[in-house]
Amino acid sequence: ERAGGPPPHTQAGNATFNRAKLLNVGFKEAMREADWRCVYYHDVDLIPENDRNLYVCDASPKHASIAMDKFGYKLPYRGYFGGVSALTPDQYMKINGFPNNYWGWGGEDDDIATRIQLNGMLIVRPSVQVGRYKMIKHKHDKGNEENPKRFNMLAKTRRTWQHDGMNAR
């Protein structure tokens, strides 16, 4: 940190949060460190309840948190890809990573699910009995308010995914 607080455009403080952009940065940095074969994107507030939910990648992108207590241990909707997911580096690059333009809460997980579909890949999931997670209760983060533009942005994913992601400058 510099004197007077964190530099502008960081994820510290009360500025609007961009989870997806941070995941892209984390992926890029992790790949510099080692030749990883599987990368997990894991919300820190989710605790796995079943140790048979193996943290390994599959031939298709994996959504591991299919049954969260906050959703009554059911998938909230068919295309849901939030919480805990895993992709190989090749799968991640094929979909151009996460979008960089989702500031605030919501939308980026649905965007990546659409990218997976647009690239002809299926989402694999464990059974509801295996993919169970407990969410640690916490206050809503300041600076992470709902993104009011998320539904409009999601409607444009088909047109934006190829230039909004890992290849963006």
- Over residues 34-78, the pLDDT tens digits come to 999 999 999 999 999 999 999 999 999 999 999 999 999 999 998
19-160 folds as Spore Coat Polysaccharide Biosynthesis Protein SpsA; Chain A (3.90.550)
Q: Where exactly are the structural domains of the chain?
A: 19-160
Q: Which residues of 5-37 are buried (b: 16+ CB within 10 A; e: fewer)?
A: eeeeeeeeeeeebbbbbebbbebeeeeeeeeee
Please give the pLDDT value at position 92: 97
Q: What is the pTM of this model?
A: 0.84
Please give the pLDDT value at position 72: 97
Q: How confident is the prediction along the chain (169 residues), in pLDDT tens digits per residue? A: 334 444 445 546 667 778 889 999 999 999 999 999 999 999 999 999 999 999 999 999 999 999 999 999 999 998 899 999 999 999 999 999 999 887 877 778 899 999 999 999 999 999 999 999 999 986 666 656 777 788 888 888 888 899 899 997 6
**Which of 70, 69, 66, 39 has the alpha carbon at shortest distance from 53?**
66
